[in-house]
Amino acid sequence: MSITALPSALSCALWRVDLDAAPAPDALRGLSADESERARRFVFARDRSRYLAAHVALRQTLAGPARRHAAQLRFAAGRFGKPLLADTQGLHFNLSHSQGVGMIALSAQAEIGVDVELVRPMNDADALAANYFDTDERDALAAIAPGPAHDLAFFRCWTRKEACLKAAGVGLGLDTRSFHVGIGAEPCNVTLRLDDGPLDMALVSTSDGQGAVAALAKVMTTQPDAEAECEACA
């Protein structure tokens, strides 16, 4: 398993994880009973191995900023299942994976969401866009001829939608056609209309330089910056 630091974005630290490189046996012993049980439920060995690699990598990247040993980290879940650190205040993280590529984001300022996808041909891209993209996004995607540029535009928009949902911590409880993110890579601000009021966030697209595209969303907050508490986020 290898973890590579990527350029920071939105004052957040980002790491790429090679999920097809197996973690050391000692690192696996640091996983919780719940993580080990979840791994055992996978039918295919490759999926199990990738899950284990992702969670070992997550513990290793969070250990320093949380000032704890990787095996001592405890996780809990938010209202809609978003993972969070149970014993550490002020650190916000998110994990995403696509086949053998993982991505971890960390912020000391606000809730974040990250999503990564390997860019690949998608025969049902237009059908998915009809269900999940707004009208302007669908029209912009339809204007691109089938091929690599179309695939890239689709996954840019898809990851941007997912990152916003994950930052808000609402899972699939919000219609993704209700907010606009675009199919390009331009940074923008997005407002999600939630039951308890609007939620503003900043959104950027990035890549791992190896065929995957990703998006990072960060909730806007008026709280004082806590960035100095997290050297990894600098």
Q: How far apart are CA 136 and CA 75, in angstroms?
A: 39
Annotated domain spans of the chain: 2-110, 116-219
- pLDDT, position 180: 98
Task: Tell whether domain 2-110 is in CATH 1.20.200.10.
Answer: no
Q: How far apart are CA 164 and CA 205, in angstroms?
A: 12
- pLDDT, position 94: 98
Q: How far apart are CA 57 and CA 30, in angstroms?
A: 11
Tens of pLDDT along the chain (234 residues)?
799 999 999 999 999 999 999 899 999 999 999 999 999 999 999 999 999 999 999 999 999 999 999 999 999 998 888 999 998 889 999 999 999 999 999 999 999 999 999 999 999 999 999 999 999 999 999 999 999 999 999 999 999 999 999 999 997 779 999 999 999 999 999 999 998 899 999 999 999 989 999 999 999 986 544 443 456 665
Residue 234 CB coordination number (10 Å): 10
pTM (two decimals): 0.93
Task: Tell whether domain 116-219 is in CATH 3.90.470.20.
Answer: yes
Distances (CA, A) of 208 to 100, 106, 111, 147, 182: 12, 16, 22, 20, 20
- pLDDT, position 225: 47
Instruction: Judge contact between 123 and 218, C-beta under 8 A.
Output: no
54-77: string of b/e by CB count within 10 Å (b at 16+)?
bbbbbbbbbbebbebebeebebee
Residue 132 CB coordination number (10 Å): 16
Same fold, 2-110 and 116-219: yes
- pLDDT, position 234: 56
Question: Which residues make Cβ contacts (< 8 Å) with residue 106, sequence separation at least 6?
Answer: 12, 13, 14, 61, 62, 65, 91, 92, 93, 112, 230, 232, 233
Residue 4 one-letter amino acid:
T
Task: State whether residue 81 is helix, strand or coil.
Answer: coil
Cα angle at 129 between 190 and 188, to 5 degrees?
A: 20
Residue in 71, 69, 58 with CA at minimum distance from that of residue 29: 71
Residue in 66, 69, 94, 151 with CA at minimum distance from that of residue 117: 151
- Tokens matching residue 206: 């990035």
